[in-house]
Structure 1
């Protein structure tokens, strides 16, 4: 995998356990196998991204298989659009690698490598330990450490990223697959937190330099234990608004039924 230097943007050369550029900037691989390409001056906080607690909650929830239909749907779409001569795909905001590992299987069948990127060091450390077949890096999604036109496909599940960066690194004819919340996503959980439950706004994203080629909705009801419902809340933005009694109520549930609603969009790079 060819990274570019986050400081001077020159191509990084991989030798032994380090990545170096012609300017002498050096980035060592951690013992778990990932590389940290997030310079201190690019951090917005001391330890950006999800905390270890949030990452562990997400891992427990995902390992239970509740979002497997989403993972399968995105992997199927990736397999449909990827060319046989592909070389590299990127999962932005990969977290602990649950989705990335499935995408790597698709990429391998096409002869391509897979990279998972996240700003959270704790998440990337866990991902690298669990999925050694994938290359992982700590980096900003707003400053992707890759050369221009280097990626055959990018997957972005909820993660933010500037459209200009996507257009810069995706090959002409390459793909961006995005997942965003559909209007009714987690309605029952929102009902415990907000006095007035509002639907998520309909998808309106436009990606400059890309043409929308495919869109689909995916929704189903989950049946969760109280512990799983608490883990789900922990991994959502709603966690910051939930009062202590909401956490207590969820934890005591024997069964909590909750609707999912995902919007998948597939964009092709023009030119």
Structure 2
């Protein structure tokens, strides 16, 4: 026999009538009759209960937002000019979505309405606690700090942006227009082979005498932190990579190489 339907004919008829009159959304009706939203939507549009023709199925699954009128747009412009925070409340009052009213107020739509004229769009608000876009000054400082040894993660935390945002700005994938300091080149491929013995000796001196971080040393030689570390170990141990480029010399084991011996 199967389970009995959760909705009755009377309930479907009532729901269609109220939905067509824009008195309730399908979500509100679903909650009221304790059925799922898909079940209510199907009953409204005739996917189910197609035999019920009075009232007929309703096209669409939700009441469409009302269209703005010239009087509403004019009133909203006057109101938002004195109180920008009132825009959201006005949108609810007019039964339109926020972006529709915002576009009308600032002249993206309703540009032909000139009394009152569209309002100028406000400048983006940035404060110390909000995630802000980078500026040329911030990008320049990020590059200086990166060259001084700060990690991408540290810089991203300080700037309150994603790691990838800082990485792209530091390496010039974005913000190529900032010339001073120039973008920091991305470490070259090839690992240890991009460094000479003289480079490795310099890396050892920078680490032992100047106490620079691996990030700062890597930035100076256009290599990664790991490559700088391995170069330091080779310089201090007197070992060079074998022909396979795996960091081991003849006579060393995998364990020796991993431990830097």
TM-score range, shorter chain: under 0.3
* TM-score computed with the length of structure 1 as normaliser: 0.20
Which of the two has greater helix per residue?
Answer: 2
With a CA cutoff of 8 Å and minimum separation of 6, indicate the structure with the bigger relative contact order.
1
Give the number of the structure whose alpha-carbon radius of gyration is greater: 2
Relative to the length of structure 2, the TM-score reads: 0.21
